[in-house]
Chains A and B, each alone.
Chain A
């Protein structure tokens, strides 16, 4: 798994995806920090974190689009699948590489919090729980992008499909609010990523939310493994 993880990280930086991702990610972080903290002269960073949800929906597809599609297109997949490693190692190696780069992007708010702590009192607990929420939600998003990338050999198609899928997750709340009271609305509300995320950014930290995000990521990683197993047996 280490070899795949390291190569994937290397590929992010040689293909400049890492720089583009981090630059755009941090630019938005900076803008929202400016708008929600500096302009309104508050140390409450929840507004910034809430705004980052949509940025993740847009940027995570860029992070995951080439994970498997590129391997398939360049036929390097064959080398990977005939190497003495398990499918789990391959899939999780790539997942953790994308997650690692994403986590580098998440370091920025801590610098902002440090800056703010010079001028006021920062609620570090809320900063950390916000960070954790964004991290876990990103992990779940990455696992979706990874699965979609394994289904196509076209990076652009993978990116667009991932974006649409994440957008649908984002819009679950909108759909749910338009429904009459009923089972479907309850189910959609329970599935809602946005609602759970918002709850954490407001300081409502919930173990079930953590488990929800983690199990979501595990399920989609498992599905990715199944995609390769199925392809081998077809």
Chain B
């Protein structure tokens, strides 16, 4: 279990992480979502004892990382943003070194083989790490975190640089590990966090912008009421007609995709399904509807939404206090 209380890190007068609190229960997968430079890595570095916090506490299985770092670190398997790989070692040699470094007590050969099978790097075990592809290197990084079977796994952007198949592999591996490990996972890819995590913390400018279960967050940002439609016909008339749909919030023409054919972005008030109305309009006007899809919300959209809408105004200290109270 991980407990974080009012964790803060200042570099001079720059607040990298400001007063973050959360807990992760055993067997839970927590996702850390945020743009680059939001403070995800800094938080993880504090949790793993790589850097100290300016104030606040981080407890790993009840052990304070600053008070008894060696004991706390022995509970953690950590994959930093850049896997700490020694490029001139073989995969097997490197994992053996990590095994010794962590003073692991598990049966050596069996445990190493188990980890290599789990991360699917058994076939490259005798190759020098610097000759491996990025995907393999990343998986060796995951493997080193798993050595010693630590109860807590902290993975900083574990799928960066992997191809789609490898991303799926790693995700299913993390899900599997989440059954008997406590996992914190960071990413700036929304779908990845959604696919894997039980709970999500959105972090921006070093503070928690939102903290909820994946289900709730997904619902609040769900894109059902945002549509993108590709319609053939006169642009101005189409826009005028679409803007008359009841419950619509805005409509604008996007890019010209094919000669004379535009994509239109529509957003309805939450709870309104405008797909049928849209279809009725194009049918009545005889404008061929060439494509229609729901607009995926980008991370940027979500940030705007979470930081500016929904009543979570992060710049306001009173609101922040309220928000903290809710979490506690």
Contacts and interface: CB of A to CB of B under 8 A. Distances in A.
Interface string A68-85: 000000111111111111
A76 B51 CA distance: 15
Contacts of B50: 78, 81-82, 232
A208 interface: no
Q: Place the interface of chain A in its size category.
A: 20 to 34
A198 interface: no
Contacts of A2: 100
Interface in A1-30: 2-4, 6-7, 10-11, 14-15
A79 B82 CA distance: 10
A74 B73 contact: no
A111 interface: no
A119 interface: no
B250 interface: no
- Mostly helix, strand, loop or mixed at chain A's interface? helix
Interface stretch (B27-35, B86-94, B228-236, B268-276): B86-94
A86 interface: yes
Interface string B65-77: 0000011011010
Interface string B216-247: 00000000000000000000000000000000
Contact of A6 (B76, B78, B85, B100): B100
Contacts of B93: 10
Interface string A141-164: 000000000000000000000000
B74 A76 contact: no
B101 A85 contact: yes
Contacts, number: 70
Nearest to A75: B82
B84 A76 contact: yes
Q: Which of A14, A76, A77, A82 has the most CB of B within 10 A?
A: A82
Nearest to A83: B101
Interface in A196-234: 232-233
Contacts of A77: 84
A84 B82 contact: no
B71 A84 contact: yes
B88 to A, nearest CB: 5
Nearest to A231: B51
Contact of B87 (A74, A83, A232): A74
A232 B88 contact: no
B279 interface: no
Contact of A82 (B48, B52, B85, B86): B48
B80 interface: yes
A86 B70 contact: yes
Nearest to A229: B52
Contacts of B8: none
A214 to B, nearest CB: 27
A84 B78 contact: no
Q: Which of B50, B80, B85, B101 has the most CB of A within 10 A?
A: B101
Nearest to B154: A82
Interface in A74-112: 74-86
B287 interface: no
B101 A232 contact: no
Given A3-B97, A82-B76, A85-B70, A76 B52 contact: no
A82 B73 contact: yes
Contacts of A75: 80, 82, 84
B109 to A, nearest CB: 17
Nearest to A233: B52
A72 B178 CA distance: 31
Nearest to A85: B101
A145 to B, nearest CB: 20
Given A4-B101, A84-B103, A85-B101, A11 B84 contact: no
Contacts of A74: 84-87
Contacts of A81: 49-50
B132 to A, nearest CB: 15
Given A10-B93, A11-B86, A11-B88, A83 B52 contact: no
A83 B73 contact: yes
B80 to A, nearest CB: 5
A76 B86 contact: yes
A59 B141 CA distance: 35
Contacts of A76: 84-86
15 contacts: A75-B82, A75-B84, A76-B84, A76-B85, A78-B82, A78-B84, A79-B98, A79-B144, A81-B50, A82-B76, A84-B71, A84-B103, A85-B103, A232-B51, A233-B52
Given A76-B86, A78-B45, A82-B49, 17 more contacts: A2-B100, A3-B97, A7-B89, A11-B86, A15-B88, A74-B84, A74-B85, A76-B84, A77-B84, A82-B48, A82-B76, A82-B78, A83-B98, A84-B102, A84-B103, A232-B51, A232-B52
Smallest CB-CB A-B distances: 10 pairs: A79-B84, A3-B100, A84-B74, A84-B73, A76-B84, A3-B101, A82-B48, A75-B82, A78-B80, A14-B88
Interface of B: 45, 48-52, 70-71, 73-74, 76, 78, 80, 82-89, 93, 97-98, 100-103, 144
